[in-house]
Structure 1
Amino acid sequence: MVQGVCLAEGHAWDDKALSPDQRAAKLVDAMTLDEQIALLRPVDGASLASLGIQLPPSIPAWMRQPKPAGAIGSAGYVPAIPRLDFPALQESDAGLGVADIGYLRPGDAATALPSSLALAASFDTGLAREAGSVIGAEAHAKGFNVQLAGGADLIRDPRNGRNFEYASEDPLLTGDMVGEEIAGIQSKHIVSTIKHYVLNDQETGRTVLDARIDEAALRESDLLAFQVAIERGHPGAVMCSYNKVNGNYACESDFLLNRVLKGEWEFPGWVMSDWGAVHSLKQSVDAGLDQESPQGGDPDYFAGLKDAVTHGDIPREKVRDMAYRIVRALFAVGAMDDRPAPGGTIDKVADAAAAQRVAEAGAVLLKNDGQLLPLHESVKSIAIIGGHADIGVLSGGGSSQVTPYGGSFRDARGQTGIAAFLSPVYDLSSPLKALQALRPGTRIVFDDGSDPQRAAELARHVDVALVFAVKPQIESLDAPDLSLPYQQDALIDAVATVNHHTAVVLETGNPVAMPWLPKVKAVLEAWYPGQRGGEAIASLLDGKAAPAGRLPVTFPAGTAQLPRPAIPGFDPARQVPFEGAGRLSPFPVDYPEGSNVGYRWFEKNKFTPLFPFGYGLTYTHFAYSHLLVKGGQDLQVSFKLANTGRTAGVEVAQLYVAVPGRTHRLVGWAKVDLKPGESQTVTITADPRFLASYDATLHRWTRLAGVYDVYVGKAAGVSTLHGSATLAAQ
C-alpha cells in the first residue's frame, strides 16, 4: 500500500499492518470539521419517556424526548458516519455489568455482577479480569462499543452513596483491581473508561463542592490509584468528575488533564466529561477535555465549538486531536475491526457462574465464634429472618443498576412514579431457596423481620438463626450515618437475645455499625452479591464454598473516628435521589487526612477500628514464620505460610511498609490456597512506587535512603511478622 492512498478493497485505515495511531490519523484526516465535532458531542442515548411511569415536573424536557434514531438505547450516542464506514458510538454504564438495559429496553437484561467492593475484597486480579471480560463480551453482543466502567475513586468516607461502585480505600489495591477489570473489558474489543477523575468522594453536593488537598497528598493517593489502573488496564477514555479540585472544575483543570494525565502519564485516549459536568467551552478545551457528554438541562457548551474554530478562539488542529484520540482508542482495542452488533450470543450460564465466583471470593467473614459457620450437619432447624431473603439479594442503585437475567424486585414500600422506580432493587436470587436446596433434610423457616418480637419468638425454637440485614445505597445520596435502616439493629438484638447461635449476613454497599456485635456468633459481609448472590451466600453458609474475602475498606467504630465526622454539605431535607445537589451553594471539602486514607488515618491517629482494612476470617487457620527481608535497591520479603487447620483455605498475606517518619502502606500481597497441613514459602516484592514520596517542590517522586519498617500480616495494623529493610535512595 502507498501511504495515504486508499486500498483497493476499502479505505487506507483498513490496513491492519498499520499502528492504531497511523490508522486513526488517516481516518480522522478524512473527516470534515463537522464530522470531527460530531464525535465530541454525544447525545443521550435513551429517553425516560420509554419507561411508562409517571415523571415529575422536575424531569427536564430533554429526558422526555424519543430515543435518537440509530441508538441502541442507553447512556450516550454518536451517530455513525456512513461515507467513511465509521460506526456509531454506543455507550452504556457498566460499573457492575452492562447497565441501562432492561428498564430502557423492556425485555432485555444482562449479568448483574457483585459490587466493586466485593470484587476488590477478593484481592484476586485474575478474577477482576474475568469479571471485566464478562462485561466486555455481553456489551459486544448487545452492540455497545464503549463501557462507562472502571470506578477508581478512593473510599475516603464510608457513607458515600456510590462506594459500592468503587474498589477500596487503598491506591495499590484499587489500581491493580480496577486496571485488570478494564483490561478484561477491552479484551473483548470494547473501549472502557476509568472514572471519576478525580476526588468524587462524596455524593452530597457532588456538582458544586470543591475538594481541597495539597499536591503531594493528591499524587500519593487518588491520582496514584488512577495512574496504576491506567498503566495496568490502558483504558480508552478517562471520565472527569463533577466536582472542583483545588478551585477548578475537574473537567477544566489544566493540572489534572493536560499536565498530569496527557503530559506526565502520556495518556493517548480521550477525556470525556461526566453527564452535565461541563461549565465552559474554551477553558475546558484548553485544559484537555475532548468530549462533552450529554449536559441535560445545562447549557450545551460544545454547541459553539465550530464558531470558536471559525473565529480562531480554538485551533482547528485542537479539534482534530480531540477527534483523533477517540478514533485511536477504537482502533487500539479492536472495536473498528471486530465491531459489536446487537443480537450476539451470550453464555448466560457461564456468566452467571462467574458472578457467583466473585460473590463467593469477595464475601468477608468478620466473626465466627465457636465455629458456628459453616453450618454443621447436626443443625436440624434454621430460621432465616429479614432482608427479603425469601425473594433475592440487594443491589446498588443509580446509573450502574443492572437488570439481571432472572428478573428483579423493587422494594417500593408504597411509593409511586419516579420514587418507586428509584426504590431499592433486589436480584431474584433467594438465599432462603438456595439454602433449602443445599439442605433438604433441615427444617428452614422464614420471617420477614418486620416485627422483631415475632421474629425472636421464631428464633427461640430453632438451632440457628440467620438474620439478613440490608442497607440500600444509591448514586446521588450519601448515607446519613453508619447505622442499618428499617430498625434492623433492634431486630438483630432481639433475635440474638433469645438465640445464642445467631449469625448475621450483611448486604451493604458500605461499612456499617454493629451495636449488636457482642451478642451474635457470626457475621458475614456479602456486600451487594449480584444475580447469583443467594446461591453464593448459601454455599458459604453451608460450607460448599469457603470465605476468602478481605475488607477493602476500614469499618470504623463510629463517625467520630472519621476525618470528617459530619458529611460536608449534608442536608437531610434533600434526601431525594438525583435532586437537590444542583440547588446547593458551592462549598469546600477539606482533606486533613491527605494521603493517609483509610487505615493510614487510623494508624496516624492511633484509632482502633471495628474491623481493619485487609481483615477477614476463614474456616481454617494459618501460621506465619521464618521472615526474611531483603533491601538495597528493591524490597522483597519471604516467609513460610502453613495451613494449621482441618480444612482447605485461602490466606491473603499482606505486606506493609513505612517510609521513614510516615505511616505504613500496603505495598504488595499474596493470595495463597493451601490444603490442611500444607505449607509454602511465599515471596512478595514491594511495588517500588509505594516506597517513594512525591516532592511537590522538586515536582518528582523521591525515595529516601534509610531504614524502612516492614511487617507481614493478616490486616492493616496486624503485624504477624515484623522486620526492617535498609533501602538505597532513588
Structure 2
Amino acid sequence: MTASRPLLEKLATTTALAGALIALAALAPVAANAQLTNNAPGAAAAKTDVPADQPWMNTKLSAEARADLILKEMTLAEKLQLTFGYFSTDNKWQITPLKNYVYPKDGRPFSAGFVPGIPRLGIPNQWQSDAGVGVATQTVPKESVTAEFPRGRTALPSGIATAATWSPETAFAGGAMIGNESFLSGFNVQLAGGMNLLREARNGRNFEYGGEDPLLSGVITGNEIKGIQSQNVISTMKHFAFNGQETNRFTMDHQIEDKSARESDLLAFQIANEIGQPGSVMCAYNRVNGFYACENDWLLNQVLKTDWGFKGYVMSDWGATHSTIPAANHGLDQQSGWAFDRSNYFEGALREAVNNGYVSEARANDMAKRILWAMFEVGLFDKPVKGDQSSTIDFVKNGKISQTDAEEAIVLLKNTLGLLPLSKTARSILIVGAHADVGVLSGGGSSQVYPIGGSAVPDEFGKGFPGPKVWYPSSPMKGLQARTAATVSYLDGKDVKAAAAAAKKADVVIVFGEQWTGESIDAPDLNLPNNQDALIAAVAKANKKTVVVLQTGGPVVMPWLAKVGAVVEAWYPGTSGGEAIARVLTGEVNPSGHLPATFPASLDQTPRPVLEGDPKLDQDSHPMGNYNIEGAAIGYKWFDKKGYKPLFAFGHGLSYTTFALSGLTAAPEGKGLKASFSVKNTGAVSGKDVAQIYVSGNGWEAPKRLGAFKKVEVAPGQSQSVSVTVDPRLLATYDSASKTWTVAAGDYKVMLATSATEIVQTVTVRLDAQTLNVKGE
C-alpha cells in the first residue's frame, strides 16, 4: 500500500551475512514447511488427505490446475468477491474518517487491508500488511495510543540501505524475516517489494526503494520478495510504474517512450519479477503516457501480463482506482483499500458491468483465477495463518538479522584523516545531534514499523501523515560507550555555539546528521534541514577530528565535506541500527556498503533542477512530467552522458582495509558474456569489497551500464577468484516495433571497477549479432 491514514486529508474527504543466516534459524518452524512439490515458492508439502469434494487441495497439482478446479465451483458473485478489498483500520482511529466506510468485521486491527475469503470452498481470507521493511501498523492520532495499540515489530533498514549492501543473500534473509513476522502476526499478504528507480533525488519515498540502477534494484528487491514468499506470504512488487515522486502523485502524468522505459524502470521490475516471482503487482497512483497506472493497458496487459507472462494479480494502490470498466479491461484485478477511492468500483458496479457485457465473463474469470493462482502458488491454502501468534516471534534473533543488514549497508564515504575506526587512545568523544543518545531514525508513511516500547523520541512532525516521526530505541551513544574506554558525552546541537565550544575540548567529535523523509511529501532540496549544515561546519572548524554520520532517505549535498575528517552514510538503519553504527565506528565491523545511488554535487546536475508539478494543484489536475529528458540514462548514466562530476559516485564505498582488483578477462558465454577477475586484500584486516563490472557498447542511452557485481569477503593478504555473467539485455538495445532485444555485432568494453567513476581495468570483447525475445531469451 502506499497511503495509510488519511491518504492525505483531501482523499479521505472526497472518498555480517553469516550472522543473518544463523539468525534465520528462528524462522525454521515456518520455513520447514515451505517446500513445494511443484517447485512453487513457499507452498507446503503434499497432502495425502485430499477431501473428495475439494480436489483443488491436492498439492501434487500445479497452482494453475488447482485454480482451474476451484474456479469451476464458484459463482460469479464469489469470483468477484475476490476482486474487492477493504481498508482494515477502524474509522474511529482516523483523524478524518473515511466516507462510506465500514470496518470489515474479520479484518486485522490497524492493518492495511482485508479481502474476505469463501469458507464453503476453503478459500482463506487475505489479510494485508505494509510494507518493505517489516510488519507496519497504520498510524493513529497520538491521543488514541492506548493499550489497544498493536505491539511493535522488527524493522529492517530502509530499502535503499538494503540495496547499499549489494548482497542478494542479505536481501533474502531480511525478506524471510519480515515474511515470518507477517505470518506469525496473522497476515498472508505483505505489501513489500518497493523498487521504483531513483529518478528524483528529492523523492520522499526513495528510502523505500532500491536505488537508481535496474540490475541492482531488480536483484536486491527480487531476492527480498523471494524471501518473504518463502514464508507462505504473498509479496507484491510495487509501485508499477514510474512512480518517481510524491508531489502530485495522484495525478502526475509521466511521459516516457517505450524503448527508454524497457531499458530502465521496466527492466528493473522485469528482473525482480524473474527472481522473486511475486504473487501480486501493485499498480501506482500516477498516470503514465496519459493513462492512470491502474488502468493502463500498455503497462498491465501488454508489458506485464503478455510480454512477461506474469501469472499473478494486479492490485491497486490504496486510492489508485478510478473506474470500473476501463480498469478491469485494462488489467486491474483487485481494487484495494476501499474506501480510499471515490467509489467502490469493483463491488456492485463490476458485477453489473459483467452482467451487461461491458466486462466479459472471461475477464472476470481471469481476475479471480490470477488471485487464486497466487494464493495456491505461495501456499496460502496449504499453510494458512492462524491469527496473531506474535508471542512466538523471536525478536532477539530477528533484531540480529536487521543489525546484519544495517552493518552490510553502512557506507564509509570519506576517511581521509584515518579517523575511523575510532582510536582506542581517544579519551573523550563528543556526540552531537539527531537524538543519537537514545535512538536512530526511520522513514515516514505507510511503511512505518513501530518499535517495541514505542519511539525513543516524542513525535517532532506533529502534522499527521506521514508522521509520526519515529526513532527506534537503539542508541548509538550507548553502543559506543560499551565499546570504548573514552568518556562519551552528548549535545543536541540546537545551540551551535555551545556545540562548537564543546568540540574544541573533545578528542573526537561525531556529528549525527538527519534528513527525515516520508510518503506524500518530497524534500524541498538536498540539504540537511534545520540548520544542520551550519552546525556541522561550525563543529568541524572547531575540531578537525570530526566524523559525520548521516541518517538520510537518499542523496544529500555536503557543503561542509572538505572540512570534516570522515563521513558515514547509515541510511535509516532499522531496529538495531544504533548497535550497527557503533560496531562500524569502532571497527568491530569493517564497513562494506556501497552507494546504490549517485550523490549529486548540486540539484543543477539533475535532469530536473526544479521539481515537476505544483503541490498546490488539486486531485483533479493533470500536471505533466517529462521522463524523456533522461530516458533510460538514470543516475550515473546521466552523469556520464553529461560529463558531470558527482559528489559521490554510484557504487562508491570505502573500507578499513584496501583491495586490489586485477586479472580481468572476458569472453562471450551463452547469450551474454562472462567476466573473471581476482580480488586481493592488500590491507591488515579482513573486509568485504563490491567488485563491479560495467559494459559499454555503441548507440546506448549512456556511455556505460552496470553489467554485474559481486560482494566478496577476503582475509588480509589473501586473494579470491571471481566470475560473473552479464545478462544479454544489458548488452542490448530494445526495439519497440518488434518487441526484441538486439545485441549488435562489434566490440564491447568490459570494465572492472570499484564505482561508476573508479575503473580499474578494461578489456575488449567481440560479440556476434543476436536477437532476443521480449523476455531476453
TM-score by length of 1: 0.94
Displacement of 1:62 after TM fit?
4.9
Q: Which residue, out of 678, 684, 706, partners 2:746?
A: 706
Query: Residues 608-619 of structure 1 correspond to what in structure 2 (within 5 A)?
Result: 608-619=645-656
Instruction: Indicate the SS of the match to 1:309.
Output: helix
Secondary structure class of the residue paired with 2:447: coil
How many Å separate the matches in 1 of 2:636 and 2:328?
A: 38
Question: Could you tell which deviates more after superposition, 580-589 or 637-646?
Answer: 580-589
Q: Distance in 1 between matches of 2:355 and 2:457?
A: 51
| C-alpha distance in 2 between matches for 1:414 and 1:445 | 26
Mark the runs of 5 or more structure 1 residues left unpaired by the alignment: 1-5, 575-579
Q: Matched residue pairs, number?
A: 709
Counting only pairs closer than 5 Å after superposition, residues 90-109 of structure 1 correspond to structure 2 as: 90-100=127-137, 106-109=149-152
460, 464, 479: which is aligned to 2:523? 479
Look up the equivalent residue of 2:393 and give its one-letter code.
I
Secondary structure of the corresponding residue to residue 294 of structure 1? strand
Aligned to 2:762: 722
1:600 and 1:415 map into 2 onto residues whose CA distance is 39
- How far 1:312 sits from its partner (Å)? 1.6
Please point out which of 422, 436, 445 is paired with 1:389: 436
Match of 1:229 in 2: 272
Give me the identity figure in percent. Answer: 46
- Contact 1:101–1:403 (CA under 8 A) maintained in structure 2: no
How do 1:276-425 and structure 2 match up within 5 A? Answer: 276-295=319-338, 296-303=340-347, 304-344=349-389, 345-413=392-460, 415=462, 418=464, 422-425=467-470
1:184-195 paired onto structure 2 within 5 Å: 184-195=227-238
* Alpha-carbon distance between aligned partners in 1 of 2:315 and 2:714, rounded to the nearest angstrom: 45
> Taking structure 1 as reference, are residues 517 and 7 closer, same or farther at Cα in structure 2, changes over 3 Å only?
closer
* Equivalent residue number for residue 513 of structure 1: 557
Equivalent residue for 1:605? 642
Per-residue CA deviation, residues 639-678 of structure 1 (Å, 9 max, x unaligned), is: 2221111111111010000122432000101211111111
CA distance in 2, matches of 1:348, 1:412: 24
**CA contact under 8 A between 2:664 and 2:678: conserved in structure 1?**
yes
The DSSP-based 3-state class of the residue aligned with 2:190 is strand
Distance 1:321 1:67 in 2: 25
CA contact (8 A) 1:60 1:297 kept: no
Which region of structure 1 is more displaced relative to structure 2, 161-170 or 288-297? 288-297
Contact 1:410 1:423 in 2 (8 A): no
Q: Point out the more displaced range, 168-177 or 65-74.
A: 65-74
C-alpha distance after superposition, 1:8-43 (max 9, x if no partner): 466221112211111112222222211111110111
Stretch of structure 1 that moved more, 364-373 or 9-18 = 9-18
Partner of 1:562: 606
> After the TM superposition, which of the residue ranges 682-691 and 451-460 deviates more from structure 2?
682-691
Structure 2 distance, partners of 1:342, 1:433, is 37
Q: Say whether residues 1:587 and 2:624 are aligned partners.
A: yes
Amino acid corresponding to residue 549 of structure 2 in structure 1: V
Q: Deviation of residue 101 (structure 1)?
A: 6.1
| 1:48 CA drift (Å) | 4.9
Q: CA deviation at 1:709?
A: 1.6
Residue 248 (structure 1) shift: 1.2
- One of 505, 509, 525 as aligned partner of 2:569: 525
Q: How do 1:47-126 and structure 2 match up within 5 A?
A: 47-50=90-93, 55=95, 59-62=97-100, 65-66=102-103, 68-100=105-137, 106-126=149-169
SS of residue matched to 2:722: strand
Alpha-carbon distance in 2 for matches of 1:267, 1:518: 50
Quote the residue 1:694 is aligned against. Answer: 734
Kept in 2: contact 1:46–1:68 (CA 8 A): no
Deviations 1:212-262 (A, max 9, x none): 111100000000000000010000000111111111111111111111111
- Distance in structure 2 (CA, Å) of the matches to 1:410 and 1:299: 39
For 1:48 and 1:548, how far apart are their aligned partners in 2?
45
2:461 and 2:468 in contact (8 A); partners too:
no
Deviation at 1:115, TM superposition (A): 0.2
Aligned-residue CA RMSD (Å) = 1.8
Query: Cα distance, 1:703 vs. partner?
Result: 0.5
SS at match of 2:335: coil
Conserved 8 A contact 1:116-1:164: yes
> Of residues 170, 174, 199 in structure 2, which corresponds to 1:156?
199
Task: Tell me whether 330-339 or 39-48 shows the greater mean CA deviation.
Answer: 39-48
CA contact (8 A) 2:513 2:528 kept: yes
Q: Which runs of 5+ in 2 are unaligned?
A: 1-48, 771-777
Name the CA distance, whole Å, in 1 between partners of 2:621 and 2:473.
37
Say which SS state the counterpart of residue 456 (structure 1) adopts. Answer: helix
Q: 1:245 to 1:394 in 2, by over 3 A?
A: same
Amino acid at match of 1:329: A
Residue in 1 that maps onto 2:495 = 451
Partner residue, 1:502 = 546
Structure-2 residue corresponding to 1:577:
none
Q: Distance in 2 between matches of 1:337 and 1:10?
A: 16
Q: Displacement, 1:570?
A: 4.2
Report the secondary structure of 2:759's partner residue.
coil
SS where residue 450 of structure 1 aligns?
A: coil
Q: Deviations over 1:404-451 (max 9, x none)?
A: 2343145534837x36x8232111111111111222x21001000111
Q: CA deviation at 1:548?
A: 0.5
CA 1:485–1:657: 2 relative to 1, 3 Å: same
Q: TM-score, normalised on structure 2?
A: 0.89
Residue 61 of structure 1: SS of its match in structure 2? coil
- Match of 2:333, as an amino acid? D
Say which SS state the counterpart of residue 346 (structure 2) adopts. Answer: helix
Local SS of the residue matching 1:460: helix
3-state SS of the aligned residue for 2:482?
helix
Does 1:639 pair with 2:639?
A: no
Query: What displacement does 1:461 show?
Result: 0.6
Distance 1:133 1:8, change over 3 A: closer
Q: Distance in 2 between matches of 1:271 and 1:414?
A: 34
Counterpart-to-counterpart distance in 2, 1:385 and 1:489: 13
Residues 9 and 310 of structure 1: CA distance in aligned 2, closer, same or farther (over 3 Å): closer
Does structure 2 retain, via aligned residues, the 8 Å contact 1:122–1:550? yes
Matches within 5 A, 1:10-29: 11-29=54-72
Is the 1:431–1:535 contact (alpha carbons within 8 Å) kept by the matching residues of 2?
yes
Structure 1 residues 490 and 7, CA gap change in structure 2 (3 angstroms): closer
Amino acid at match of 1:508: T
- Residues 53-95 of structure 1, C-alpha deviations (whole Å, 9 max, x = no match): xx25xx53356x5463444441111123222222111001121
CA contact (8 A) 2:460 2:469 kept: no
